[in-house]
Structure 1
Amino acid sequence: MRNATLRQLKIFEAVARHLSFSRAATELHLTQPAVSTQIRTLEAHAGATLFEQLGKKTYLTQAGAELLPYCRAIIAQFEQADTAMAQHRGIAGGRLDVAVISAGDYFFPQLMMAFARRHPGVKLNLTVHNREELLEQLSDNRTDLAVMVRPPLHDTQNDAFAPHPYVIVAAPQHPLAAPGREPIGLRELVRHPFVVRERGSDTWHSMEDAFGTRLDELQVAMEIKSTETIKQAVIAGIGLGFLSAHTIGREVAAGSLVVVPAERFPLMLNWYVVHRREKRLPPVAHAFRQFLLEDGAEWIGRLIPTAGT
């Protein structure tokens, strides 16, 4: 094992965590053959097979299971060393690791660039996830900061920094999109088909807040994991959509989507910046957190005009 590299150990840990070469490749931004090559090289260093394939499933061998905790300990030591050295580099030489839920990818790169312009030399790393993946990023200590709507209730520091409105949208030809309509009640809304995000997503939980007990009456025409695909389905007339107002600015401006006037809407929630409570944030992450708390709401308001205005 003395010739094994940190890169090989990180690839092994990702494959072991997912029990999937393809998912590990996606996470690490590598091709699947590149992951397989690195695992074979590590196995040669170890003198043992680390994974076995039974049918379509990947499993750790006994040797792989024994290596995994040592591998994670080594990776953790390197990360701790990097964090310690970051204290000496300060903000300018630091790397900012941020993970956001999917609605954030419509504006967050610009927000990070606004921060980077204040602090030249900062290296930026942004990843976009659904809620479940984002919680894994936090629990596995693979990101310094997470930005989301519904933070965990335990073991994290959660700070609201900007409002996050949700609205009902429709294609312009939809009967509820007629101009000059009075706000529509939930009883009438649930009579119409909806295109929705998957259950368990932040958007689905926000729908639970908005519709309450009437959510069970909702007619789900399609359940889709992609906000972009939901918008296209709504534009095509498949149903109404329940979306973050931060994701629809272009379509509303172009006239391809209309915000439906509805009682209790927009549903006003908040963006939160989240980190593990016991984590010692590197200077760059601490500075970015302060940037969000002090200026995040103003920047988001500047980048994303209120839908329908």
Structure 2
Amino acid sequence: MPRILNVINILLGIIIIAILAAIAADLLSLSMGKTLMPKGGKETALPVATAPRTEDLAFYAPILANGLFGKATQGQLTAIVNATAAAQAAPLTAPVDLLLLGTAVGSFRETFALVRNNSKQEERVFRLGDMVFDAGRLVEVKKEQAFIVVGGKKVELLTPLTPPSAAPPTQPAAHVGVAVSSAGSGNFVIDQRALNAVLDNPSQAMTDARLLPSQKDGKVEGFRASEVKPNGLFAMIGIKNGDVLLRLNDFPIDSPDKALQSFITLKGQSRLKLDLIRDGQPVTFNYDIR
């Protein structure tokens, strides 16, 4: 009897092992089939990842409005504007809104311009190469003048006391025929307003002709005029190229300083006497300034 039970137990063990082996084989076969599926076989569709949902910014507004995270976070939701886009959208400062208040001219690092932005009511100091507010880059600084580059062109900024440079100093003397009229025999009549307008800028007046020393017996006797500008001071009083200026109101013109001084003293005078040499002959001109 015990022998029969042993045989039955052995058979049951063999059957159980066979069943377990079959189950393991099926599982292994299923796993291998999924891994080694041929290309022509039916593919199993993979689940498509759902794109994350993008909500409008207003969708989250109630979270802050209702204070979901506490009263400290309660408030209104405000969109953040792109700083670059905002800067591009902001209007640029026009050069006419800038006012030059002062300059300091020295070396490159010691040259500055004090500029006021009238629109922003703001004053700042800029060095050469700096961007003047957002109008243009500072490229040149002079006494009472500064220049910035706007759109590839130099634009001048003026101080409140500096007149516009569009009108040249000699503009009032443009009509020489009207400013000076001949009375005959070396006598002339000069328009006083036109003469004073030219003399307001004596340095510019001295560039209205080229004056070179004229020597006689080794000494300077006067100055020879050349390159006389048609609308300048010298042309106004009748001086021509080649004339040698000797005396003005009996004051000798034998040095550049005396020449400049004598012409400056013309302002406010009512009469003028000019001694010169023209074509080798001494000539005297008399002017009545009215």
CA radius of gyration, larger in: 2
Shorter chain as normaliser: what TM range?
under 0.3
- For normalisation by structure 1, the TM-score amounts to 0.24
- For normalisation by structure 2, the TM-score amounts to 0.25
Higher relative contact order (CA 8 A, sep 6+): 1
Question: Which structure's residues are more often helix, by fraction?
Answer: 1
